[in-house]
Amino acid sequence: MAQQKPHINLVTIGHVDHGKSTLVGRLLYEHGEIPAHIIEEYRKQAEEKGKATFEFAWVMDRYKEERERGVTIDLAHRKFETDKYYFTIIDAPGHRDFVKNMITGASQADAAVLVVSARDGEGVMAQTREHAFLAKTLGVQQLIAVVNKMDATQPPYSQKRFEEVKQQIEKLLTPIGYRNVPIIPISGYKGDNITKPSENLKWWNGPTLLQALDNLKVPEKPIDKPLRLPVQDVYSITGIGTVPVGRVETGVLKVGDKVVFQPADKQGEVKSIEMHHEPLQQAEPGDNVGFNVRGIAKNDIKRGDVCGHVTSPPTVVRAFTAQIVVLNHPSAIAVGYKPVFHVHTAQVACRFEQIIKTVNPKDGTTLKENPDYIKTGDIAVVKIVPDRPFVIEKVSDIPQLGRFAIRDMGQTVAAGQCIDVEAK
Ligand code: GDP
């Protein structure tokens, strides 16, 4: 079998209107991924309007108009391929639900492109900060920053303005913990320095965006960590027995392993593993598997339980300390607030027991000890008590099991990570 290229899930983040969707459109367009009939349709429209040349900018303007009218155009599944990788672009239109998907594993991004507009008066803004912080909180390992709209600086393609915005970006990213991030001047609208070097940016001798994407590191598989496999579903299959289904987050699951499900506290032995209807001897991080466990009945375990080895079982907590960022709460969060926490495949009502402090996103220092309440935009350290014990891990131990979204009344109100646990 031919060696498969590694796959990278990419997400675009940044302040609204700084050019994320334009950039995605441009990338897909330059890769020939926008369906021919859509381009043809736009070409016709351009001619009718008496436009002499057909430009991508025109395509994107139409695309944006149609989006605003609620017409969605499926940009060929938003996939493209480079010499080294297959990329899937995870769009974040419904930002809040994107956060939930990121945490529950539906769409974990391996890398993010942070889009910052260079237009005068723009640069690093509120959502630029929020998104960069979120990306880190959600475990996005690698980041590329683009200084966009270089065509719209004064004067156009100003190296001086690029350097200014670059400094703002460095000041933002270093305290958050992103190091050695490539910062690249581009224009998504005009197509400068996306897949090929631009005449307009002669002073730039760094990579194009495409080169930077190819320079990303192959995402690491956390096979050296303890096994953690959150259960999505449990089946009982005639002639086989109890078959939990889920994705291996960390570690390796092998046939013959002695495993335990927590907090159900049920043990058994792995008799067989299957992925895409093929038997496997072992499953690794990222693999979605069903596996037959002897010694466990279907009703012993359920969605939200986590499977690990009996020698290093999942951590069951009765309380934990977390760092959270409040994304969207209509008023204020005070002690006693009890929303639903979405952690891996578990959903648990949890109470805010204590608001320990608010944190300055710029440098991580304490803003206020024991504040009465926190509100949208705040980053805080809080103590949380779940209604019933469940599995969560410290991010410093097993980051994949340490992140959560907080939902209330159908919305993601906050996201966070577990920094300490009181084990049961
Ligand atoms: P998003 O909200 O971040 O997805 O931003 P959009 O892609 O919708 O772009 C917002 C506005 O900025 C639109 O009017 C775009 O045409 C414009 N825009 C995006 N990229 C560029 C760029 O590189 N140069 C210029 N001059 N305008 C851009």
Contact assessment for residue 313 and residue 262, using Cβ atoms and an 8 Å cutoff: yes
Alpha-carbon gap, residue 302 to 391, rounded angstroms: 13
Q: Is the CB of 17 under 6 A from ligand 1?
A: yes
User: For the whole model, what pTM was predicted?
Assistant: 0.80
What six digits make up the tokens of 28? 């897909």
Q: What percent of the chain has pLDDT over 70?
A: 88
pLDDT digits (tens, 9 = 90+) for 319-339: 999 999 898 899 999 999 999
Alpha-carbon gap, residue 126 to 377, rounded angstroms: 9
Q: Is the pLDDT of residue 380 over 80?
A: yes
Q: Is the CB of 122 under 6 A from ligand 1?
A: no
* Residue 69: predicted pLDDT: 55
Q: Phi and psi of 253, rounded to 5°?
A: -105, 125
* Residue 64: predicted pLDDT: 61
ipTM value for the complex: 0.99
Question: What average pLDDT does the segment 49-62 reach?
Answer: 58
* Residue 332: predicted pLDDT: 96
Q: Is 334 helix (H, G, I), strand (E, B) or coil?
A: strand
* Residue 131: predicted pLDDT: 84
Contact assessment for residue 147 and residue 169, using Cβ atoms and an 8 Å cutoff: yes
Q: Is the CB of 149 under 6 A from ligand 1?
A: yes
Question: What average pLDDT does the segment 265-284 reach?
Answer: 94
For residues 41 and 195, the model is more confident at: 195
Q: Is the CB of 68 under 6 A from ligand 1?
A: no
Q: Is 358 helix (H, G, I), strand (E, B) or coil?
A: strand
Cα(168) to ligand 1 centroid in Å equals 20
Report CA-CA distances (Å) from 325 to 288, 307, 383. 30, 29, 14
* Residue 63: predicted pLDDT: 60
Kindly report the protein residue whose alpha carbon is nearest to atom 11 of ligand 1.
Answer: 17
Q: Phi and psi of 144, rounded to 5°?
A: -125, 135
pLDDT digits (tens, 9 = 90+) for 96-127: 667 777 777 766 788 999 999 999 999 999 88
